[in-house]
């Protein structure tokens, strides 16, 4: 059931992106520090969303690693304290 819902969600997302692409075919000029370039607006939107997703996942991954490291350290400390308690 979850697989079917996932496929439906993906199809709806593809449909939404297709509609967005058709509505934003205009070419825009993107200026940056050393010049500019022109590209379709939909490409600019998709690249912006993709970069945002990558940055968000990197932040989430770094927090996950920090929490995982903290958990391992706490488990080692608990194991040591348990061994000390059993020894006494």
Q: What is the pLDDT of residues 7-52, one digit of tens each?
A: 898 899 888 888 887 888 899 999 989 999 999 888 888 888 889 8
Extract the tokens encoding 62. 């770094």
pTM (two decimals) = 0.59
Count of domains for the chain: 1
Which pLDDT belongs to residue 55? 93
Name the CA radius of gyration of the chain, rounded: 24
Q: Are 84 and 59 in contact (CB under 8 A)?
A: no
Give mean pLDDT, residues 77-81.
90
The domain in which residue 79 lies consists of 2-87
Alpha helices, H only, 1-88: 2-23, 41-87
């Amino acid at each position: 059931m979850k697989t079917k819902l996932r496929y439906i969600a993906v199809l709806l997302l593809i449909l939404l992106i297709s509609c967005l692409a058709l509505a934003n075919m205009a070419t825009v000029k993107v200026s940056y520090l050393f010049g500019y370039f022109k590209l379709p607006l939909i490409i600019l939107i998709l690249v912006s969303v993709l970069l945002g997703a990558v940055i968000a996942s990197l932040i989430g991954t770094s927090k996950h690693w920090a929490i995982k490291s903290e958990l391992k350290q706490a488990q080692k400390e608990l194991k040591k304290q348990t061994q000390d308690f059993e020894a006494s």
